[in-house]
Amino acid sequence: MKTMKSKSTAVTEKISKVKKGLRVTRTALLIAALAMTTFAPPVFADDPLAAINGLSTFIFSAIKAIGMILLGFGIVQIGLSLKSHDAQQRANGFLTFFGGIVIAFAKDILDLIMA
């Protein structure tokens, strides 16, 4: 009989610990939600076009970085093909090089087309 009571109290203590943890989590989430709604209006008060332009700038800078990497890789391929006299590798190197140029200057090319 004594062991049943001790098991029962142990289970009750575990349940109370879990309930306390849930209360703490619920309170933290409520505070976080209130903070988000309090600080959100200054963020959304700006011009929405500015956010889109910032995202566009970021994407085009990432594309430019990829183009520069391809440009460098193309130069390395051309150099290696000249050393080994491999025509296929030289052709691939020039394709990679010119592809990197087109990708790196995609924004400038689009600006020229749109103007």
Q: What is the mean pLDDT of residues 52-74?
A: 89
Give domain limits for the chain: 1-45, 46-115
Tens digits of residue pLDDT in 67-111: 999 999 999 999 999 898 888 989 999 999 999 999 999 888 888
Gap between the Cα atoms of 8 and 22, Å rounded: 21
Residue 21's pLDDT is 86
Residue 101's pLDDT is 93
Tens digits of residue pLDDT in 7-49: 778 788 888 888 888 898 899 888 888 877 776 665 555 677 8
Gap between the Cα atoms of 43 and 50, Å rounded: 12
Query: With 0-12 CB in 10 A as exposed, 13-18 as middle and 19+ as buried, what is 40?
Result: exposed
Residue 45's pLDDT is 56
Would the pLDDT of 59 be above 70?
Answer: yes
